[in-house]
Amino acid sequence: MPKIAYVTNAPPQAGMGKPAREIYQRLKTQYAADFFYLDAGKRELLKNDQKIAEVSNLPKPLQLKPIQWWRLSKKLPTQGYDLWHLTNQTLSFIPRQDFLLTVYDLIELLDPQEKLGKYVAQYLYKGIPKAKHIICISEYTKKMLQQTYHVVDKKISIIPLGVGENFKPLENVRGSVGYHEFLQQNRLPKDAKIVLYVGSDHPRKNLNLLAEAFVKVKVSVPKAYLVKVGDPGLMAGRIEFQNKLNALKLSDSVRFVGNIGDEKLRLLYSSADVFVFPSFYEGFGIPPLEAMACGLPVVCSNATSLPEVVGDAGRLHNPKDADGFAASIIKILTDANFASELSRKGLERSNTFSWESIAQKTAEVYERMMNDE
């Protein structure tokens, strides 16, 4: 049986961590695959969830995640595997022969979120042209990859991300103990109309426009509340968003929830009234897909890869069109038949993105690579 080294550096609930684990759980039944996790936070290298190495702590300026990834990568074995699968672009710097690389996006290279982001990305992504084969998670990512690195078509496979069986609608969710606990914990009235956003506060997530749209929603639907789920990612982005909310006098109508597990996330997707995702740039867009899978109507940006995910199952708008976002949100909150139809379309579309089919397509790439086709 071929032996695969499957490598990630993303935490389990992160945008690149969750897919890595979902795919691995299905591939390990077909291959002798070892799962390596470069945990920058704990400075540990894990193999199949067991610590096999660690690096010492460094002074604060040297505690950046990329530095820890580089140090931990030196602890990886160099032999004993038929194929190395580096599961996102920030791992391409690891020197391995004939490796497979998954590329989610080139955001930090093309639109850096921090001052030094571009230079860090240039180092982390330096191995992209050296990959024997590359999996892109969307047509848009492939387009950006080819424009930046001039990778030929035959070296690229497009395999989208998926949504697991744990994201399905919950029956009678608003009568559940969990829902009422959530309302109480977050000071939300029982008759609140919940507008849900899941993601970070990075500038590319376009939360200022979300605020501008939401202030218009509040005029038509006074009981609307915006629930923002996810850690800031970039604290400067959180501060900017909060300043925007304060300026629009919206702070009392917004609730911040940190990173939560899939069980609580499913509860929110199933109990909210509308999901909003105005992002400027996504390599794929897992949150809209999860929302659709739980039957939650989606209002989404029409930028980059997002139309590939949402299709005609949601309302798509230019990410600069606050009026358009507001109008769609209001329509969903006030027209039950319209909301129900979007819910139905979203459920149907989400069924086409299964982790089983994605893992199988990944296995087919493995076979082609190992057979040198």
Interval 156-195: pLDDT, tens: 999 999 998 889 999 999 999 999 999 999 999 999 999 9
Minimum mean pLDDT range among 78-82, 98-102, 117-121: 117-121
Per-residue pLDDT, 116: 79
CB neighbours (10 Å) of residue 284? 26
pLDDT band at 313 (very low <50, low <70, confident <90, very high): very high
In sequence order, the 6+-apart residues with CB closer than 8 A to the CB of 113 are 107, 202, 203, 204, 234, 237
Q: What is the predicted pLDDT for the residue at 112?
A: 82
Cβ proximity of 96 and 7 under 8 Å: no
Output the pTM of the full model: 0.89
Show the tokens assigned to 255.
């609730």
Domains, the chain, ranges and CATH?
3-162+354-370 (3.40.50.2000), 173-350 (3.40.50.2000)
Nearest to 35 by CA among 12, 15, 14: 12
- Residue 373 has what pLDDT? 53
pLDDT band at 294 (very low <50, low <70, confident <90, very high): very high
Percent of the chain with pLDDT over 90: 87
CA geometry: angle 111, 114, 115, nearest 5 deg: 100
- Answer whether 301's CB lies under 8 Å from 236's CB: no
